Amino acid sequence: MYKRYYDNKLDEYVEPNKVVIIQGPRQVGKTTLVNQYLKNYCKGKYKYEYLTGDSIEAKNIFSSSSLNTIKNFAKGLDLVVIDEAQKIEDIGTGLKILVDHVKNIRIIVTGSASFDLVNKVGEPLVGRKWDLKLFPLAQLELQKNYNNTFLLKQDLEKFLIYGSYPEVLEIDNTKQKIEYLQNFVDSFLLKDVLEFSGVKGSKFIIDLLKLLAFQVGSLVSLTELANSLGVNKLTVAKYLDLFEKTYIIYNLRGYSRNLRKEITTTGKYYFYDNGILNALTGNFNKINVRNDIGALWENFLVMEGLKKQEYKKIHSNNYFWRTWDKDEVDFVEERDGRLYGFEFKWGNAKSKGIHKFTNEYKEAEVEIINRENYIDFVI
């Protein structure tokens, strides 16, 4: 079992009368993380109750908004855990009652659909919660399992092709890895999207995701997507928003202080995991025969950058930078009042975009990230 960043840190967030909210894509190990915490830290320390958002009991208790019902449930407990909490109607109000009226109660909830969970628990719990995000395994997590970065770098091609979902990494057989990822797309990837959109069929959704998969790292036009699929632009926008909020894709917007020169209205989309990206394109070929290695490399590094920011609590606004003359910097971090630009190159090619960027933003620090130095960027 791979060690997760929060394995030895979760207890730091579990405080009296606070809610720990753990969000992230399906199947990345949220439930496993919580169960490991219960096993390793709570035995003999806390009396706890574990519920799932699917259970009738949990729905009856926390949808009731009844002070007496919730207090009676929590009587004698030190910790309450609710897995997939977004499935409980008005869960935020129920948790607020629990936090406000049960002394010293600790609460952990998990969810795989950020928009629904945030809407339901966000506002009622202002000042009463910790928000944590769990991703597919990060390079900074895997380095501890590999013991050294040399061995980690040797498996780079595997991460680029098959991604880093925990279960995929546990599978040794290549054919079985591919089958797992294909089944994941069919069975789990769209579960939240279908549930919250009310759409019964998944063909349109898969077709839209495939179009995005072939455009990773490129500017995406909603109008072009809509025309390709025979729908209107608003429908495309709706589903892109759902994909973001169910942790399938990440939207990177353009950075600008000079709107006349720079593109800000069109976004780029990246997938939370390279394995899912390749399952959608149907391409699991080796790197040396791929013509999309630049896109795979960019997707991998953008997501590893986000993982590092989350786990190391680096607070940053993230962008890409591009001019109408097509000068570009792939990833721009705005943090601590400063700009940091990163251009991702699989080979050793130089980038004229970096020079144009530093001419425009002289205070910025910029760097080309390639196979030789990427470890410092991701760890």
Q: Which of 86-95, 181-190, 196-205, 236-245 has the lowest mean pLDDT?
A: 196-205
pLDDT above 90 for 43: no
Q: Tell whether the model's pLDDT for residue 282 goes beyond 90.
A: yes
Model pLDDT, residue 115? 45
Q: Which amino acid is at 31?
A: T
Q: What is the CATH number of domain 10-133?
A: 3.40.50.300
| Interatomic CA distance for residues 336 and 21, integer angstroms | 26
Segment 255-267 mean pLDDT: 73
pLDDT in tens, 21-31: 999 999 999 99
Nearest to 342 by CA among 321, 366, 378, 360: 366
Torsion of CA 191, 195, 196, 201, to 10 degrees: 90
239-249 pLDDT tens trace: 998 899 889 99
Residue among 309, 331, 274 at smallest CA distance from 132: 309
pLDDT tens sequence across 205-215: 999 999 999 99
Domain ranges of the chain: 10-133, 139-378
Looking at per-residue pLDDT, the higher value among 325 and 77 belongs to 77
Question: Which span out of 193-202, 303-312, 318-327 was modeled with the highest average pLDDT?
Answer: 303-312
Residue 273 CB partners (closer than 8 Å, separation 6+): 25, 136, 163, 164, 165, 303
When mean pLDDT is compared across 188-192, 330-334, 356-360, the lowest value belongs to: 188-192
Mean predicted confidence (pLDDT) in 350-372:
92
Digit-coded pLDDT (tens) for 112-124: 875 455 555 656 6
Which amino acid would we find at residue 122? Answer: G
